Amino acid sequence: MKKRIVVTGMGAITPLGIGVETLWDGLVNGRSAVQRITRFDPSDFPTQIAAEVPDFNPTDFMDRKEARRMDRFTQFAVAAAGMALQDAGLNLDNEDPFRVGVVLGTGIGGMETLTKQFEILYEKGPSRMSPFFVPMMIANMAAGMVAILAQAKGPNTTVVTACAASANAVGEAARILRSGDADIILTGGTEAAITPIAVAGFCAMKAMSTNNQDPEGASRPFDARRDGFVMGEGAGILVLETLEHALKRGARIYAEIAGYGTTSDAYHITAPDPEGIGEATAMRLALADAEMAPEDIQYINAHGTSTPANDKCETKAIKAVFGDHARRLAISSTKSMIGHLLGAAGAVELMAAIMTIERGIIHPTINYQDPDPECDLDYVPNQARPARVDAVLSNSFGFGGQNASLVVSRYTG
């Protein structure tokens, strides 16, 4: 029998604030965190809105000297990891450090550092570049710093699969635990890309919403008037353990990572396969890994980006996998409230799925006003819904045709 993997701790830094409870309170109450960009002057940009993390002070979580040597995306990860470890009640001094690992995902990495150091190079020359430029920027440094501060000397991996990155990270972490190579893994994702160059790049692709007049209403997954995604930032870190290890130390168990499926569309650098075949196959693989039938799932936390193509393709894929049961499923998009956290999205949305199981309430898809005939399922519009949920499928799809689906279920002993 394969080893069972459970979630024992969670930490979150999101546009709704600091901590998982703050995230959950905002989601169930349908609060949008989208506003005009404040991290730089967006006046010349077609898109001038984003979901920024408010009131984040890195020195609340780490030494000032350490913070200065970390990009914002790494600061987010370190802060969320500390909260997750505390939530799990883990004292890693009591663990074999070579049995503790870190597997994180990010889509872009240290974009803020790259932007600032390029400006220094352009304005002041190469002699003024920071010696910390490369280690602050590289995508694996969030995982590296989390491991250093936690003294986690086991497997350490960074997954870079665009917007599927942190879902892939959780899935790969579960595989490592099942293989017997670790007992505990800190996993999830982090992103901090609300910078002029990243926003300009997405604007050039015409991928983001330009509804600057109504920031809170701009992210509207599955709605007929959706016009693109809204960029967000933040981090979500989970503590995963083998069930044997969690029980041995008397840990509180949130839920079980029951299944994982991942595929590639092999279709286009940005557009999803219009038939949703890769997405559907990832969902089927996750269900098979969980040894569940489609009818065992009560809720899907959708990728739900608010782009015309993605929402339509995801709906088509859900119908292909779930058949008649698709009409009975509750489906909602966390991105309607916190925007798209890119490489961190999958982990934060998995936390929302876990909280759905624990609290017995499904958060809504806000801003759903005008039904789209091609998106005709139950998207839990605008109001949270009480419901007993025992198993959730969480979807994450990324540029390059990267698809990842996770099944999380109620722990039943």
Annotated catalytic, 363? no
Both structure tokens of 277 = 């075949």
Q: Where are the alpha helices (DSSP H) in 132-180?
A: 133-137, 141-150, 165-179
Structure tokens at 75: 């600061």
Catalytic-residue membership of 268: no
Hey, where are the domains in the chain? 1-399
- Let me know if 325 is a catalytic residue: no
Spatial separation of the C-alpha atoms in residues 98 and 187, rounded to whole Å = 16
Residue 100 token pair: 């503790």
CA distance 386 to 218: 26
DSSP one-letter string for 27-79 = HHTT----EE--SS--TTSS--EEBPPPS--GGGTS-HHHHHTS-HHHHHHHH
Residue 199 CA to residue 168 CA, distance in Å, equals 24
What is the identity of the amino acid at 166?
Answer: S
- Measured CA to CA, the distance from residue 303 to residue 398 in angstroms comes to 9
Q: Per-residue pLDDT tens, the chain, 413 aa: give them.
A: 789 999 999 999 999 999 999 999 999 999 999 999 999 999 999 999 999 999 999 999 999 999 999 999 999 999 999 999 999 999 999 999 999 999 999 999 999 999 999 999 999 999 999 999 999 999 999 999 999 999 999 999 999 999 999 999 999 999 999 999 999 999 999 999 999 999 999 999 999 999 999 999 999 999 999 999 999 999 999 999 999 999 999 999 999 999 999 999 999 999 999 999 999 999 999 999 999 999 999 999 999 999 999 999 999 999 999 999 999 999 999 999 999 999 999 999 999 999 999 999 999 999 999 999 999 999 999 999 999 999 999 999 999 999 999 999 999 98
Instruction: Give which of 253, 329, 321 is closest to 297, Cα–Cα.
Output: 329
Which of 245, 303, 363, 375 is an active site residue? Answer: 303
Determine which helix (DSSP H) or strand (DSSP E) holds 240, and give its type and residue range.
Answer: strand 234-242
Backbone angles phi, psi at 213, to 5 degrees: -75, -20
Task: Identify the active-site residue in 245, 313, 340, 363.
Answer: 340
What's the first-to-final CA gap in the chain, in angstroms? 15
Element (H, E) at 395: strand 391-398
Which one, of 208, 210, 186, lies nearest residue 347 by Cα?
Answer: 186
Domain 1-399 in CATH 3.20.20.120? The answer is no
